[in-house]
Structure 1
Amino acid sequence: MSARTSLEELGRRYGTPCYVYDLDRVEAARRDLAAQLPEGTEIFYAFKANPHVDLVRALRTGPGPACKAEISSTGELAAALEAGYPPSDILYTGPGKTPGELNEAIAAGVRMFSAESLTDLEHIGEAATAHGTVADCLLRINSATASASTGIRMTGKPTQFGIDSETLASIADKVRAVPGTSVVGLHLFSQSNAKDEAALIGEFQHTLEVAVQAQHDLGVPLRLLDIGGGFAVPYGQRGERAAYPRLRAELEAALDAHFPQWRQGAPRVAVESGRYLVGDSGTLLATVSNVKVSRGRKFVILDAGINTFGGMSGLGRILPVSVTVEGRTADGETDGEAETEKASLAGPLCTPGDLLAREVEVPALAPGDVVAVPNTGAYGPTASLLMFLGRPAPTEVVVRGDEVVSVSRIEHVRTYGRVGRDE
C-alpha cells in the first residue's frame, strides 16, 4: 500500500476512527523474529495484543514458521479456533482460570496449560479428570531475582503470576501428584517491551539459570521450556521494531551451557510475543473534530480517544502518541518546511482523562484533517474503553498490498434473560 494517500483514502472511504492493519507487515515481523532466534524455536502469539482473526490467521498460515497460540480466555479460544489453530497448538495461560472456562477449553481439545500456582494446577486437573483426560502443564515460575532493568518487570516481586521460585522445592511432591495433570515444562516470562538488546539477552540468560534450578527442584525432565518474550516495538509513536542481531548466538550459547540436549528437542524451546508480531502492522486514522485554545494552550480534539486507543491509559503508557497528516509529522520532525506547533491531543469523551498526548509538537491541524497514529497494531480496540459513553467501536480494515482483505467493526449487544456463569 502506498502509505499516505492510500491511508487517507481508506479513512475517507470507511470513516474514522479506523484501524488499518497491513498483513505484509505482520508476516515480515514473524520472519524477522524467527530469524533472530535459535533455529527450531517455537513462537507463541499472545492473542491479548490483537485477536483480530485475519491477523492471527496470517501468523499461522503465512510464509515461514507457523506461530502457535497463547490465550487466556474463552473469547480468545474462540478466535484461535476460528482462525484455524488446532487445539494442540494452543497454550492456555492466566492466573484466574474459572471452572467453566477450563471445562470449555478442555472440551474443545486444548491440552496445554500454564499453571500459576498449586491450586491453579489442581483446578486444571479437576477439569481434565472430569473429561477423562490428562492436561500437559507448564509451571509458571516467579523468579526471586531478575537480571534486566528495562521494559515492564514481571518477576522478582510479589505478584499474582507464577509460583515463587524459592518455594518450588517444598511443593514439588504435591505438584507431581496432582491427578489429571502431567507437568511437562516451565513457563517463565520476566519482562515486556525490552528495547535494549543487552538487557534482553541478560534476562534470557538469567531465565535459563532459573529453569535449571527449577528442573532440579521438580525432579522431572522438561519437555517444553517457554522462556517468555520482551521483544519491543513502539506503541503509538514513530519508530521501527527493535532489532536483536546478537540474540540468536547468545541464546544458543546459553542453551548449550544449561540444556545440552536442547538441539535434539530435550527440551523444546519456545518464546511468546504479542506486540512485536503485530504492533507495526497497524495505523489508527482519526479526524480532527475541533481545534480550540484554553488559557493559552491549544487542544486538537479528535474523534478517537481512550475509547478507541486506550489500552494502556490506566497505566499511563499511551502518552504521548505521534500523528502525521499529508506528509506533515509530529515529534518535532517535519517533511520539508511543514509548520508544527505545540498542542494536546484530546478525544471525544466527556472526561478530562481522554487525552492521547499533552503539549507535544504536531503539524498545524484544522477541523476535517485526517491524522494517522503509527504503530497501533497491538493493544488497540479490544484493549480500550470501547463501551464508555456508548460511542461506536472503530472500523478495522485489513489490507495486503493494495487489496482490502476485510472490513469489520465490533458491535455491543445487550442480552436479556437468564445469563449465568460457568454453566
Structure 2
Amino acid sequence: MNLKSDADLVERYGSPLYVYDLDRAVAARDDLLASLPEGTIVYFSFKANPHPGIAEALRRGADSSCKAEISSAGELVAALTAGFDPLDILYTGPGKTSEEVEAAVEAGVRVFSVESVGDLRRVGHAALSQGATASCLLRVNSSGPGATTSIRMTGTPSQFGFDSETLPDLMPELRSVPGTRLSGMHLFSLSNAKDEDSLIAELTHTITAAAKVRDSTGLVPELLDLGGGFASPYLTPGKRPLYGGLRAALEEILDSHFPSWRQGSPRIAAESGRYLVGDCGRLLCTVTNVKESRGIRFVILDAGINVLGGMSGLGRLLPVSVALDGDENGRGSAVANLVGPLCTPGDILGRNVAVPDLRPGDLVTIPNAGAYGMTASLVMFLGRPAPMEITLRRDEVISASRVICTRMQT
C-alpha cells in the first residue's frame, strides 16, 4: 500500500508509530562497505534494532559481506527469521547462559566471541554435547585508548573481554578447552566516534593492539573483528557521516601489521548497528497536552521512555528533537521540556528543546530513530501498548507489526 504522508500512516496504523525506510538502511550498508578495506565483513549488531524486516534488507544483495552479530536467544530467532545462515552469525556477550549457547549451537551457530575462561568453557561444553567444534574469537580488552567517546568499551576494568596483559599466561589453558578452537580476536573499543579522525585513531590503535596480542601469544587470527564506532545522529536532525579517508588509512595500518590480510589471512570484520539503521527510522507521535509549570513549558507526547530509548530517563541520550508534520509555513518557535505520558518524573525525552509552537493534537516527527529506539525502551513499564512498526520500500508499506508484551496477554 502506498500512502501519501505521515498523517496517512498515523491514521491507518495509530500513534505513536515507528516508520523504517528499508532503502535508507541498504544505502547505509553500501556506504559503510565502501568506506572499509575491500573484502571486510560487516556484522549487523542486532542490539540496535532486531526488526527482521530491516535485517533481511541488510542481508540481501550484500554478496555475503553483511552478517549477523547477536547476543541473546531472542536475537538468534530474529536473525534466523531474517534469513541469515547460522554459519554467518557471530554470537557475542559477556553473560551467555548455558541454555542460550546450547540453543545457538543446536541452531547451527559455530562462531562465538568469548570474554573469559568460563565463557570459553561454557561454549566448549555446549559444542561437545552436540558433536561440534566452536570457532572462538578472544575478545580483548586492550590497554591505552586511541580516542575519546561518550561510550568507551576498553582500556579500563570491564566485564568485556580478556585483559590483554593476561593473555600470554592464559593461552595454554585457553588452547586446551575441549570443543573449541581459537580462531581469532574481537576488539571493540568505542561507540559513536565523534569524527573520522577519532575513528581512524581508535581503529589504528585496535589493529596495533591485535598485532601485539598475536606477537605475545602466538595466536595468528583467521578472523580479526575490529569492532565499530561508526557514528550516526540519534533522535536529532542530521546526516550520518561518510568516511572518505577511512579505507586508505586502515589498509595502510593493516599492511604494516597484518601484511597477508589482502590474501584473506586474516579476514577483516567490523560491526555496526547505529550507522546501519539509525537514519532509516523515524518516530511519529502526537501532542496530547501542553502546559506551563512555574515558568517552564511542558509538551506531553503519547510516546515516552516506554517507546523511545528508555535510557533517556537516565539523562544519557538527551536531547530529543521534534519537527511538526505538515508545518510548511512555520508557527514560530518555543522552548519546552518534551515528556511522555507515564506516571513518573523520569519520563523525560528532552529538556529545554527548541520546538515549534505545538498544540494538542499536533503530529510530530522524531528523526533518526532507527537505532536504540523501541527495543532500547522500557516497553513493559506501566503496561501501555507497544507502538506499531512499519517498513517502507520506495514509500510503499511492506510490513506492519507490533511487539506483544506476553505477560500482559496472559
Structure 1 length normalisation: TM-score? 0.94
**Secondary structure of 1:317's aligned partner:** coil
Aligned ranges 1:23-422 → 2 under 5 Å: 23-62=22-61, 66-313=65-312, 315-326=314-325, 328=327, 338-414=331-407
Q: 1:41 to 1:208 in 2, by over 3 A?
A: same
Shift of 1:243: 1.9
Shift of 1:52: 0.3
**Secondary structure of 2:276's aligned partner:** helix
Letter in 1 for 2:50: P
Shift of 1:216: 1.9
Q: Contact 2:282–2:366 (CA<8 Å) still a contact in 1?
A: yes
Q: Structure 2: where are the runs of 5+ without partners? A: none
Could you tell me how far apart the structure 1 residues matched to 2:268 and 2:232 are? 23
**Secondary structure of 1:221's aligned partner:** coil
Once the two structures are superposed, what CA deviation does each residue of 1:201-252 show, in whole Å capped at 9, x if it has no partner? 0111111111011112221321000000100001100001022111000000
Which moved further from structure 2: 408-417 or 91-100?
Answer: 408-417
**Secondary structure of 1:119's aligned partner:** helix
Which moved further from structure 2: 82-91 or 317-326?
Answer: 317-326
Letter in 2 for 1:354: D
Shift of 1:12: 2.2
Could you tell me how far apart the structure 2 residues matched to 1:263 and 1:282 are? 36
Letter in 1 for 2:83: G
Shift of 1:415: 9.2
Shift of 1:67: 1.1
Q: 1:414 to 1:151 in 2, by over 3 A?
A: closer
Once the two structures are superposed, what CA deviation does each residue of 1:102-122 show, in whole Å capped at 9, x if it has no partner? 110001110000000111111
Q: Contact 1:143–1:156 (CA<8 Å) still a contact in 2?
A: yes
Q: 1:99 to 1:399 in 2, by over 3 A?
A: same
Could you tell me how far apart the structure 1 residues matched to 2:124 and 2:306 are? 39
Once the two structures are superposed, what CA deviation does each residue of 1:99-142 show, in whole Å capped at 9, x if it has no partner? 11111000111000000011111111111111111100000000
**Secondary structure of 2:143's aligned partner:** coil
Once the two structures are superposed, what CA deviation does each residue of 1:146-169 show, in whole Å capped at 9, x if it has no partner? 110134211010010000001111
Q: Contact 1:150–1:195 (CA<8 Å) still a contact in 2?
A: yes
Shift of 1:47: 0.2
Q: Structure 1: where are the runs of 5+ without partners? A: 329-334, 418-423
Q: Contact 2:2–2:396 (CA<8 Å) still a contact in 1?
A: no
Letter in 2 for 1:361: A
Q: Contact 2:232–2:274 (CA<8 Å) still a contact in 1?
A: yes
Could you tell me how far apart the structure 2 residues matched to 1:23 and 1:272 are? 19
Could you tell me how far apart the structure 2 residues matched to 1:62 and 1:315 are? 39
Letter in 2 for 1:7: D
Q: 1:392 to 1:416 in 2, by over 3 A?
A: closer
**Secondary structure of 1:312's aligned partner:** helix
Could you tell me how far apart the structure 1 residues matched to 2:408 and 2:178 are? 38
Once the two structures are superposed, what CA deviation does each residue of 1:177-202 show, in whole Å capped at 9, x if it has no partner? 11110000000000000131111101
Letter in 2 for 1:362: V
Shift of 1:359: 1.4
Could you tell me how far apart the structure 2 residues matched to 1:415 and 1:108 are? 29
**Secondary structure of 1:414's aligned partner:** helix
Q: Which of structure 1's runs of 4+ aligned residues deviate more than 2 A?
A: 62-66, 310-318, 335-338, 414-417
Could you tell me how far apart the structure 2 residues matched to 1:245 and 1:64 are? 22
RMSD (Å) for aligned C-alpha atoms: 1.8
The answer for the alignment partner of 1:331 in structure 2 is: none
Structure 2 length normalisation: TM-score? 0.97
Q: Contact 1:151–1:230 (CA<8 Å) still a contact in 2?
A: no
**Secondary structure of 1:251's aligned partner:** helix
Q: Contact 1:172–1:217 (CA<8 Å) still a contact in 2?
A: no
Shift of 1:63: 5.5
